[in-house]
Structure formats: C-alpha cells, structure tokens
C-alpha cells in the first residue's frame, strides 16, 4: 500500500501520467485507446461504476452545459446527483462533483492513492500493459467517489469521442448526443459522419437516446446507429422555445448578453426557463437537459434499482418547481461569462464554438470598443477560428466603430499550446493587426490598459486560457 499522498502530491503524480492528447515525447508512438484496459482497472476496483445509474452525454459542443443543467435540475429535484465533466477551468477537483460540491482535496488524494496502488499491481502482474492515462485514472477516481457517496444518479460528460472513451464502461440509463462538429479529427476521423459514428459509440442496444436535429451528416449517422441498435430515440425539439415565447431582456452593464428566459411545455404544464447561461445556442443544451429530466421523471421508481448498492427507489420527485429551480441555479462558468467591469469569457475552442461566440458578439452594441485576448491549442483549426473571430476586432477595417479595437495574443500554459509566432502568423495572413504578450497575466494587464472606458474585453480560444484568466481576474 502506497503511503498516503498529500493532495499536491496526488495532482503532481496525476499530471505525470500523461494525457491522451499530449504530444508524444521523443518520437514515441501516440498511445492507442483501448476500452478493455479501463474495464480491467474498474473490475479490480470492484466495478464502482455499476453501483449507480448514469446518464452519458457525448457530442462536440454543449456537452458540459447540458450536463451542468441536467445535474442542477436533478439536484433541485431531491436526487443526490454526481457530475463528472472535463476539462477543468482551474482546479482538477472541479471535474468531480456531488450536488455542486467538488470533491475535497483529502478524498481526491485518498482515492488517487487507491487507484494508483491497484493500477501498479495490474501492471506488475501483466494484466495491464502500462499505467492508465490521466483521464482513465481520473475517471476511475470519480467512479469510486460517486459509489462511496451512494449517489442516486451520475451525469457523465464524455471526454473524447465516445466509443473508446473511459466513461463508456458504464451502462447508461440514458445517452444524450449534443451538437456534433469537426474537432479532434486526428483521433475521430476527417468528416462529421466519421466523428458522429465515434460519438454514437455511447449508445446501447434497446437503450434510450436523446438528441436534436443537427448537421445532415450527423443526423444520418445517428439514424443509422439508432436503427441498428433498435433504440428508443427521443427528440428534444419540443423544448426549443418559439420566438414569441422568449422574453426579450435588455442588455445591461452587468449582463451584456441577456439570460435565456422563456416558457416551454413540460409534462403538459407551462415551465419557465430562466437560465444564467446566455447565448441562443444554450437553448439547445437546455432542451436536451429538459428532455432527459422528463424521461427520468417518467421512469421514476423503475429507473432506480432496489439492489444493494445501486441507488434508491425514488418516485415523484421531479416537479415543475424543481425543474425551474434547477435551471435557475445552474453553475457553469466560462461560457459567455461576464466578470465586471468589462471581461467576457468564453471557452470556444473550435470553429463551431467560434461561430457561436461570433453570434453572441453581434448582439453587443456595435459602437462598443472591443479588445480580444486569444490563444488556442496547436491541434485546433487556428486559421478557421481566426477567420471567424478576428474580423470582429479589426481596427483597420474602415469601420469607425472598430477603430479603437485590439487583438492580443498570448501563450497558454499547456504543452499542447500553439506558439505565439503561429498565432501572429494567422493574424498576418488575414492582414489584421495583433499584438503579442509574453503570458496571459501580461495580456490581461495590457487589455485593461488599452480598452477604452465602456469597452469590452473578450477572452476566448481555449478552456485553459479562460480558466487562467478567470483565476487572475477573480483573485485581483
């Protein structure tokens, strides 16, 4: 048995394991995904993932927002609800929550030591070819924590893809597919159809799928997967608000992009959606969460098995009031999040996310000066993202409203980060002026100095960028 680690030691050990998407070192081959390795580790830990019902959420964009909204609804409805998401903004504990409370440092270190001991024994006895990766260990740790806390239900965000993702060893009572777009093509395939087939790997024979109509290639691939598995497919389209149902709230200095506020029908009754997550795109994520909550409500009692160690039998817990309260209480920072007096944070990390952010920016007053802080990982489509976003901050465009705009580029503290030289080259290819800062703290200081009074600083391009800047801004 390994001596008990401190939290800091556990986190250091965890990062030393290597992450699935980290670049290979010294020409070593890229690690291949193999779900059987995760199953071997879980079996040695007592299969904790089978001791609670799970909802598994895959897709490209919107997974985390959907998971956070559904988790909040279920907690408000009285369920002891686990939430597993990735990546984190600042502290790794953020990924593992029960009823909105992150795992404690002490529990994190304790479970990490146990998973490490078991994994090393599996390697020593030849049952595993190598130590599990960062994400595999963290997923196993989360499952142990959730089982120990005897949660009623776990909402799990898939990390990458679906078919081979470490979370996919659960047997989900519901599978949700959010919007699918091009991302991680090196791992998931070059087309939306290829990527969708990987994402559809979270579906189960005779299981239940909740999704929305989306890109035609994705629709076709999802339909083919559903037909082959004889799924119960549920569309969340009925929970998308009609234009007349939306409450048009004005922008304010404290909420430049208004909350989502509208009424939909839920279980035959009027339900008020008043979500702190702004942006029209969130209406799709909220709809998916509502469809999942409705399905859980319909199956309350039968969904929660009365077997030793597997949840509790619960009935009639979900109400209109609890769903409304859960939506209002959703916590999911870094998604069009405004930090007064003038910082807007958004984790848009791929072209689809950049388009969503662009749509939100166009809702802002055109006369408002803007400064963009941008960076991204080098495995992202840098040229496409900059083509979408940089023209909105082009001080040389001839548009007088943009004359006082700026673009600041800075490196992210991550081994996968794009070099500042590459960021500058992307701006030069567009013939749009941009400045470089040595690090994100300097970028934020510079942005605050050059943005006129009443102007807005927009920071985006990566979860890692937003997490670091959010920490800097809230600690100031």
Using pLDDT thresholds of 50, 70 and 90, give the confidence band for residue 303: low
For residue 228, the model assigns a pLDDT of 87
Q: Are residues 367 and 416 in the same domain?
A: yes
Q: Number of helices and strands (H, E) in the chain?
A: 15, 16
443: CATH: 3.90.190.20
0.85 cut: is pTM over it? yes
pLDDT digits (tens, 9 = 90+) for 127-167: 999 999 999 999 999 999 999 999 999 999 999 888 999 99
| Sequence-distant (≥ 6) Cβ neighbours of residue 446 within 8 angstroms | 408, 435, 437
In our burial notation (b when 16+ CB lie closer than 10 A, e otherwise), range 78-103 reads: ebbbbbbbbbbbeebbbbbbbbeebb
Using pLDDT thresholds of 50, 70 and 90, give the confidence band for residue 313: very low
Q: State how far the Cα of 371 lies from the Cα of 25, in Å rounded to an integer.
A: 36
For residue 414, the model assigns a pLDDT of 87
245: CATH: 3.40.1190.10
Q: State how far the Cα of 382 lies from the Cα of 379, in Å rounded to an integer.
A: 8
Q: State how far the Cα of 51 lies from the Cα of 144, in Å rounded to an integer.
A: 10
pLDDT digits (tens, 9 = 90+) for 237-268: 999 999 999 998 877 777 889 899 999 999 99
Q: Is residue 252 part of a domain?
A: yes
Q: State how far the Cα of 445 lies from the Cα of 465, in Å rounded to an integer.
A: 15
Residue at a domain's end among 275, 310, 328 = 328
For residue 365, the model assigns a pLDDT of 92
| Sequence-distant (≥ 6) Cβ neighbours of residue 216 within 8 angstroms | none
Q: Is residue 1 part of a domain?
A: no
Q: Are residues 301 and 349 in the same domain?
A: no
Q: Is residue 190 part of a domain?
A: yes
**Nearest CA-CA partner of 53 in 166, 202, 173:** 173
For residue 418, the model assigns a pLDDT of 95
Q: Are residues 70 and 91 in the same domain?
A: yes
Q: What is the mean pLDDT of the chain?
A: 91
The DSSP code sequence of 186-248 is HHH-SSHHHHHHHHGGG--TT-EEEE----HHHHHHHHHHHHHHT-EEEE-GGGSPPGGGB--
Q: Is residue 21 part of a domain?
A: yes
pLDDT-wise least confident of 17-26, 27-36, 52-61, 266-275: 17-26
Residue at a domain's end among 328, 351, 371 = 328
Q: Are residues 250 and 370 in the same domain?
A: no
Using pLDDT thresholds of 50, 70 and 90, give the confidence band for residue 307: very low
Q: Is the dihedral of CA 25, 59, 90, 380 positive or negative?
A: positive
Residue at a domain's end among 328, 351, 378 = 328
* Total count of domains within the chain: 2
Q: Are residues 262 and 233 in the same domain?
A: yes
Q: Are residues 117 and 252 in the same domain?
A: yes
Q: Are residues 323 and 345 in the same domain?
A: no
Three-state DSSP at 84 gives strand
Q: Is residue 150 part of a domain?
A: yes
| Sequence-distant (≥ 6) Cβ neighbours of residue 331 within 8 angstroms | 68, 72, 100, 276
Q: Are residues 314 and 400 in the same domain?
A: no
Phi and psi torsions of 343, nearest 5°: -110, 120
Q: Please check whether residue 279 is in contact with residue 356, taking contact to mean a CB–CB distance below 8 angstroms.
A: yes
Q: Are residues 61 and 154 in the same domain?
A: yes
Three-state DSSP string of 65-82:
HHHHHHHHHHHHCCCCEE
What the block records as the tokens of 470 is: 């959010």
The stretch 187-193 carries a mean pLDDT of 87
For residue 312, the model assigns a pLDDT of 47
**Nearest CA-CA partner of 106 in 238, 230, 6, 232:** 6
Q: Please check whether residue 215 is in contact with residue 284, taking contact to mean a CB–CB distance below 8 angstroms.
A: no
In our burial notation (b when 16+ CB lie closer than 10 A, e otherwise), range 24-48 reads: eeeeeeeeebebebbebbbebbeeb
Range of the domain at 165: 7-328
Torsion of CA 278, 284, 287, 292, to 10 degrees: -110
Q: Is residue 471 part of a domain?
A: yes
The stretch 45-73 carries a mean pLDDT of 96
pLDDT digits (tens, 9 = 90+) for 385-438: 999 999 999 999 999 999 999 999 999 988 889 999 999 999 999 999 999 999
Residue percentage of the chain with pLDDT more than 90:
82
Q: Are residues 244 and 384 in the same domain?
A: no
For residue 174, the model assigns a pLDDT of 96
Q: Are residues 324 and 341 in the same domain?
A: no
Q: Is residue 425 part of a domain?
A: yes
Using pLDDT thresholds of 50, 70 and 90, give the confidence band for residue 311: very low
Q: Is residue 2 part of a domain?
A: no
Measured in residues, the chain has a length of 476
For residue 429, the model assigns a pLDDT of 98
Q: Are residues 386 and 286 in the same domain?
A: no
| Sequence-distant (≥ 6) Cβ neighbours of residue 345 within 8 angstroms | 333, 334, 336, 337, 338, 339, 459, 460, 466, 469, 470
**Nearest CA-CA partner of 320 in 399, 257, 266, 261:** 266
């Amino acid at each position: 048995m390994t001596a008990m680690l401190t939290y800091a030691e556990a986190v250091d050990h965890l990062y030393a394991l290597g992450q699935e998407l980290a670049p290979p070192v010294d020409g070593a081959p890229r690690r291949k995904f193999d779900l059987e390795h995760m199953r071997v580790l879980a079996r040695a830990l007592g299969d904790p993932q089978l001791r609670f019902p799970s909802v598994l959420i895959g897709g490209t964009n919107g997974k985390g927002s959907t998971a956070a909204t559904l988790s909040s609804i279920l907690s408000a409805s009285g369920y002891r609800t686990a939430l597993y998401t990735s990546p984190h903004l600042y502290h790794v504990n953020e990924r593992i929550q029960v009823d909105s409370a992150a795992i404690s440092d002490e529990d994190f270190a304790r479970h990490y030591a146990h998973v490490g001991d078991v994994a090393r024994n599996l390697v020593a006895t030849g049952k595993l070819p190598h130590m599990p990766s960062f994400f595999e260990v963290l997923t196993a740790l989360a499952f142990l924590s959730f089982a120990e806390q005897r949660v009623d239900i776990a909402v799990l965000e898939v990390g990458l893809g679906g078919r081979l993702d470490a979370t996919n060893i659960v047997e989900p009572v519901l599978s949700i597919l959010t919007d699918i777009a091009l991302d991680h093509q090196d791992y998931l395939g070059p087309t939306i159809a290829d990527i969708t087939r990987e994402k559809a790997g979270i579906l189960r024979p005779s299981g239940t799928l909740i999704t929305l109509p989306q890109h035609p290639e994705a629709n076709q691939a999802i339909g083919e997967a559903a037909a082959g598995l004889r799924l119960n497919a549920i569309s969340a389209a009925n929970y998308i608000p009609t234009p007349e149902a939306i409450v048009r709230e004005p922008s304010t200095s404290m909420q430049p992009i208004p909350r989502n506020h509208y009424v939909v029908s839920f279980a035959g009754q009027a339900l008020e959606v008043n979500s702190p997550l702004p942006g029209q795109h969130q209406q799709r994520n909220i709809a998916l969460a509502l469809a999942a909550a409705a399905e859980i409500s319909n199956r309350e009692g039968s969904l929660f098995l009365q077997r030793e160690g597997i949840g509790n039998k619960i009935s009639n817990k979900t109400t209109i009031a609890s769903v409304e309260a859960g939506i209002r209480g959703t916590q999911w920072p870094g998604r069009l999040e405004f930090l007064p007096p003038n910082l807007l944070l958004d984790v848009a990390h791929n072209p689809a996310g950049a388009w969503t952010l662009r749509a939100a920016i166009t809702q802002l007053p055109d006369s408002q000066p803007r400064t963009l802080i941008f960076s991204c990982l080098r495995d992202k489509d840098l040229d496409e993202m900059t083509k979408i976003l940089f023209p909105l901050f082009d001080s040389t465009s001839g548009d007088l409203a943009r004359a006082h705009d700026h673009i600041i580029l800075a490196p992210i503290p991550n081994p996968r980060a794009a070099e500042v030289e590459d960021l500058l080259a992307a701006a030069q290819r567009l013939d749009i002026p941009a400045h470089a800062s040595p690090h994100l703290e300097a970028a934020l200081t510079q942005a605050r100095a050059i943005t006129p009074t009443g102007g807005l600083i927009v920071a985006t391009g990566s979860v890692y960028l937003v997490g670091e800047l959010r920490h800097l801004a809230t600690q100031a």
